[in-house]
Amino acid sequence: MITTDGVVIGKHDQGDNGWYLKVLSPDLGLIDVSARGQKKQGASNSAAVQLFACSTMCLNDRGGRYYLDSSRPKMLFYHIREDVQLLSLASYFAQLISFTVTENQTARDIYRLLANCLYMLSERSAGAEFIKFIFEMRLCTELGMIPGLLGCADCYKTESTMYFDIPDGIFLCREHFLERGLSGSGDTVEITAGMLEAMRYVCLSSQEKLFCFNTPHSTMSTLSRISERYVRYRLERDFPALDFYYSVSAKQ
């Protein structure tokens, strides 16, 4: 018997009475868990198998396959399932994790990041774009894809206006931006020193202080789009849940 915490980031039918769960565990990485009989009324683990529920799970390991034996819910984040915009954003986070985390991978920091972001979404403790920006940039950091945050890649200066070369993950001052001939490149975006500082904070601060900063709404909207483009370049793919998130957000 194995005991581990886990967040359910995906589920699909297992016959008429059960579920196959996709669970992010801090100890086991991303695992598939069979939850037999949990569709029945009054099933003992019905709370733990809800999408985005966080629970302590007791699992039977049978030849590398995990079966849910018992569970103790910790946080259900039920407000997320009541709001289609929050649900679509949480689903985007789940797709990112499904693409980047594997089984038997220690994922304590990524698990903690997801749990904290789900809590912030569920409690509406911060705006969706703020949480999205934090999740995207910090996930890249935990995966070893942190951009060069010291300053200009050529001279290390930080000026009031900087340029972020998204494909290379570097920042440039105006002099070296022009020197490299990147003017007019759609893959290089102009940012302020304050935006660079926000990126530094999210990538380098402790998880305890991750949400402890303020940025104007207009600035956060820009940062959210930049972090999203950075993720797409690093992972070389699009994510359907993100497109759905924007389609839902446009109607609200």
For the chain, the average pLDDT equals 92
**Domain boundary residue among 76, 91, 109?**
76
Q: Which residue has the tokens 């995966």?
A: 143
Least confident residue range of 58-72, 82-96, 140-154, 159-173: 58-72
Beta carbons of 230 and 166 less than 8 angstroms apart: yes
Co-location of 168 and 242 in the same domain: yes
Domain boundary among 29, 51, 76: 76
Looking at residue 252, its pLDDT comes to: 66
136 and 38, same structural domain? no
- Domain range for residue 101? 83-252
The β-bridge partners of 24 are 7, 30
The CATH number covering residue 19 comes to 2.40.50.140
Domain boundary among 57, 76, 95: 76
Dihedral sign for Cα atoms in the order 105, 109, 111, 114:
negative
Tell me, what's the pLDDT at 171? Answer: 96
Answer yes or no: pTM beyond 0.85: yes
How many H helices and E strands in the chain? 7, 8
Note whether 42 and 89 are same-domain residues. Answer: no
Residue 14 has pLDDT above 80, yes or no: no
Residues 19-58 pLDDT 10s: 899 999 999 999 999 988 777 777 788 888 899 999 999 9
CATH number of the domain to which 198 belongs: 1.20.1440.120
* Number of domains within the chain: 2
pLDDT greater than 80 at residue 2 = yes
Pairing state between β 65-75 and 29-35: parallel
What is the DSSP-derived secondary structure letter of residue 103? B
Residues 129, 198: Cα–Cα separation, whole Å:
13
**pLDDT band, very low/low/confident/very high, at 185 (cuts 50, 70, 90):** low
For residue 220, the one-letter residue type is M
